[in-house]
Amino acid sequence: MIHHRLWLLLLPCFGLLIVPLYNFHDPVLFGFPFFYWYQFAWVPVTAFLTWIAYRSYPDDE
C-alpha cells in the first residue's frame, strides 16, 4: 500500500480560508501589503505541496 500524501493538500485550504490569519497591511514586501504577498506566496507553496503528493502516486499512463 503506497502512502499517499493527500493530507498535504489541506494546508493551502487552512492557510487561505482562515482569512483573519492574513487580513492586515504589515509587513509590506516589495510594496505589497501582507494581505497580497501572503496569498501570492501560497501559489508556489501549493504547487510544491501538490508536487510532493503527486510523487506519492504511481505513474499509471
Partner 1 sequence: MTSEIDFTELGVFLFFFALVTIMGFVAAKWRRPKTLARLDEWGLGGRQFGTWITWFLVGGDFYTAYTVIAVPALVYSVGAYGFFALPYTIIVYPFVFAVMPKLWRVAKDDGSITAADVVRSRYGSRALESAVAVTGVVATMPYIALQLIGMTAAIAALGIHGDLPLIGAFVILALYTYSSGLRAPALIAFVKDAMIYVAVIAAVALIPGKLGGYAAVFDAADQAFKAKGSGGILLAPNQVVAYATLALGSALAAFMYPHTLTGVFASRSGHTIRKNAVLLPAYTLMLGLLALLGYMAHAAHLKPANNNDVVPDLFQALFPNWFAGFAFAAIAIGALVPAAVMSIGSANLFTRNFWKAYVNPAIDPAGEATVAKITSLVVKLGALLVILYLPTQFALDLQLLGGLWILQTLPAVVFGLFTRWFTAPALLAGWAVGLCGGTYLAWSDGLRPLHALTFGSVSFTAYVGIIALIANIVVAAAVNLAVASPHRVEGAEV
End-to-end alpha-carbon separation of the chain, Å? 19
Least distance (Å) from partner 1 to the CB of residue 3? Answer: 15
Bridge partners (DSSP) of residue 29 are: 32
Least distance (Å) from partner 1 to the CB of residue 27? Answer: 13
Residue 61 binds partner 1 (CB under 8 A): yes
Range 39-58, binding partner 1 (CB under 8 A):
39-40, 42-44, 46-47, 50-51, 53-54, 57
Instruction: Tell me the three cell numbers of residue 18.
Output: 482562515
Residue 3 binds partner 1 (CB under 8 A): no
In terms of phi and psi (left: phi > 0; alpha: psi -120 to 50; beta: otherwise), the region of 8 is alpha
